Structure 1
Amino acid sequence: MTFSTIYGRYHFKRMPFGIISAQDEFQQQMEDAFQGLEGFEIIIDDMIVYGNTQEEHDKRLAAILQRALVKGIRFNEERCKFSVSRVKYFGHVISSEGMQPDPNKIHAINNMPSPSCREELQTRLGMINYLAKYIPSLSTKNKKLHDLTKVDLFIWEEEHTQILEDLKSSIVSNTPFFNHKSNNMELIVDASSHRLGAHLVLEGKVTVYASRSLSKTEQKYSQLEKELYAIVFGCKHFHHYLYGRHVEVTTNQCPLETVVANPIHKAPP
């Protein structure tokens, strides 16, 4: 990036403030710097290193530190935490048991006042959507709130207040841990006239939720097509959990068994 002045043409030696692509560029630089190493996740300047055992963790951490030394990347020791079994990371609490919402995040959502304008409502919905994996049937529960963001005249009524409070309590009462140690998972899906829903069950316990609205075109599908589409949606959405594992799919549409059991050339149009 260069700029011209009366004294000549200059370019920055460091990324300046205010550049829209700065965050994406920084993320790419960090990913490139630690490429090829295992057992870590990095988002901008926040990194987490993990391992199944203390020995594996320490080995991976040593590799990260050595790579940082080679690349000239420095860490602030006061902001680092080493060898902990529980850590807060981007709105989640991660431990050996799995993951759950950060209590501070839940507290902030619970203390949100009712919005006074469309922009405030969008902010509140954004905070709730960040924890969507912990809320069953979210796209159904917040439909009327989303509809309110699309109208010209913003009118907040008692019905909207109740919906917002119900969403808050859903996060509090549904805080499942989930981990990926088991190779056997159950994917439960469902479809309504306007929504798709899916959730994963591990050892009899619901671990994570997902849902989305159907487009106007998708709403015209037959119910059987919607139910099959829900399976596709669930498999794609949870691909990073399901890939390489035995998955049992549960749906309330028995006719789907006949459809998927037949060869593809015998499937109905």
Structure 2
Amino acid sequence: MIIGMDFINRYNLSIDVKKQLVSIEVRNQRILIPIVNVMKSIKIPVISSNTILLPSNSTRKISVAIPISSISLPFIPTFSFKSHIPVDYKDNTLAFHNYRSDVLLYNAMRHPKVIKKGTRLGYLLCCSTFQHPRMFYSSHYRLHGTTRCTGMNPAFSNSIIKDDFHIRSSALSNNNSTCTNRFIRYSADKLSSSKKVSNSTVTQHLNLLVQNVQNDEHKRDLLALLRQFSNIFDTTRHNVANTPIPHVINTIPHSPPASRPYPQPDKEEIMYQFIQEFLQAGLISESNSPYAAPAILVKKKDNSYRFVVDYKRLNAITIKDSFPLPNMEDTIFKLGKGFSYFSKFDLKSGFYQIPINEADKMKTAFITPFGLYQFNVLPMVYLDDIIIFSESFSDHLYHLRCVFSALHDKNLLLNPPKCELAVQRINYLGHTIKKDSITPMKDKIEAILRIPEPHTLAQANRFLGSLGWYRKFLPKFADVAAPIHAVTNLTKPNRKKFKWELVQSKAFHQLKHMLITEPLFLHFPIDNSPLILTTDASDTGLGGVLQQKVELLSS
């Protein structure tokens, strides 16, 4: 137990080690909290390390593995294992060393049985203890400059139990009805407020979202709206969206693709934690599907891990639909029509919130060292960002309310750290967008400037590809980049002829210099002013530009 002095002084805390009680003072009332050890069961999956044949009426020893290096615990065979492979286990405890142990199995059937590698045979049962507070409220007392508390009774056998709050009726006398009512009102207020804002994490997220809003009235109105829809910012829980249209995976006639698990021994414990979290949240379930795609963990920029499934073989047999996906360039330029306020939202865990058609869940099955599982929600994502743009703050507040209401109705959650609200300058899809202009993001330009001079065809193509998003900002890009295109536009048989010479080197450095030459921005068109389309072509490239005649007012 770790308790800070600030908390001890604030609540006049005392600990009775002999009686195993903690008491605190709240609203002139003494609250007793017994220190109770509660048992919590943890199941550790046990899987077969090798494929083994069990002859009829014979006993075999099979090697098994777990994600924990050394432990000795009771072994419980799974029901599915018993029903599909009738075996009799000869002992009830397994001792593991270096992640391995042996299980003695007996096949009582008249025909042999095969246990494949990776089959989950059962689990180890581990019971851990944790401190679970249960509160007993003593009778009301008045403070007279003393820490002594009265009306406390150590006998708790006749407690009334409700929602983990244990209230001793015998400790509340008739003379203390005022105190009792006060406590009930106090508890009701706390429970009510906890429903509006689920926890301190959500409150912190909401305050951070409005911290950059300079106008006090705007900040107050925006914060009130966020509190009304605080549940969609609750990142402490997983959820499945309430949508009437589940995701369908249409496939061509095929044999189900199945792969072995990718070996990642250094990450098995982390993957096991992911699996348990997903199971408890209902995002995945155990599977007996003939499909099996390998699951891996990929490290993110913040050194945490992303759970990834390699669905290349499933994608190869999936029927592609032709629904038009958003064009990023079109999206960027739609924001430049005089809009002054922008908000950007990111869905929590991508499309992990969209349910999958029941008949297609088996196609999403993935294999891990602990067994086979399948998704109940969509495990793939293309674009899950939402951007809102408005001409005035009042319009923006209305648009936000509409979007929040739609997300709330469909039970979709947002990821607050990746959201921005009611800003007048926003970074979106690699560009910085304001009311009257669009510029490349500085960190994206700096990343291009750090690219070393190419020495291979692949490196040269990567450099040109990194400039693709920003060539619209670079005048005469086709002419300047022509020497590099001349040595990269090669057919497959001629790729060995790639040569990086002085002329390509000059073009490389000139393109980099253009990226840091001001002004590097585009103005959005002026409404009600005619547009002029100008095009040109040469032996080295094609070009086109939209122009407007603008009369500049002298100051």
The alpha carbon displacement at 1:30 in A equals: 9.8
Is 1:103 paired with 2:449? no
SS in 2 for 1:93: strand
Q: Find the partner of 1:162 among 498, 506, 517.
A: 506
Q: Which residue of 1 aligns with 2:545?
A: 199
The alpha carbon displacement at 1:49 in A equals: 1.1
C-alpha distance after superposition, 1:181-200 (max 9, x if no partner): 42322322222244321112
CA contact (8 A) 2:425 2:432 kept: yes
Q: Distance in 2 between matches of 1:8 and 1:115?
A: 47
Q: Distance in 1 between matches of 2:549 and 2:400?
A: 32
Q: Find the partner of 2:311 among 13, 19, 25.
A: 19
TM-score, normalised to structure 1, is 0.60
Q: Find the partner of 2:472 among 112, 133, 136.
A: 133
Q: Distance in 1 between matches of 2:289 and 2:444?
A: 49
- Once the two structures are superposed, the pairs formed by residues 1-269 of structure 1 within 5 Å of their partners are 1=249, 3=256, 7-9=288-290, 17-19=309-311, 44-149=383-488, 150=490, 151-173=495-517, 174-184=519-529, 185-204=531-550
AA matched with 2:524: N
AA matched with 1:200: L
Compared CA separation, residues 53 and 47, structure 1 to 2 (3 A): same
SS in 2 for 1:187: strand
CA contact (8 A) 1:182 1:202 kept: no
The alpha carbon displacement at 1:176 in A equals: 2.3
SS in 2 for 1:55: helix
Compared CA separation, residues 118 and 7, structure 1 to 2 (3 A): same
RMSD: 3.7
Q: Which residue of 1 aligns with 2:132?
A: none
AA matched with 1:145: I
C-alpha distance after superposition, 1:103-154 (max 9, x if no partner): 1111122222101211111111001111121112322221221221224233
Compared CA separation, residues 118 and 96, structure 1 to 2 (3 A): same
Structure 2 alignment gaps of length 5 or more: 1-248, 259-286, 294-306, 327-334, 336-341, 346-381
Compared CA separation, residues 107 and 7, structure 1 to 2 (3 A): closer
Q: Distance in 2 between matches of 1:17 and 1:121?
A: 31
Compared CA separation, residues 175 and 16, structure 1 to 2 (3 A): same
TM-score, normalised to structure 2, is 0.31
Q: Distance in 2 between matches of 1:116 and 1:128?
A: 18
Q: Which residue of 2 aligns with 1:223?
A: none
Compared CA separation, residues 87 and 167, structure 1 to 2 (3 A): same
Task: Give aligned pairs, total.
Answer: 193
CA contact (8 A) 1:88 1:94 kept: yes
Q: Distance in 2 between matches of 1:62 and 1:203?
A: 40
AA matched with 2:542: L
C-alpha distance after superposition, 1:35-79 (max 9, x if no partner): xxx999997122221111112222222211211122222101122
Percent identical: 22
Greater strand content: 2
CA contact (8 A) 2:445 2:515 kept: yes
AA matched with 2:503: E
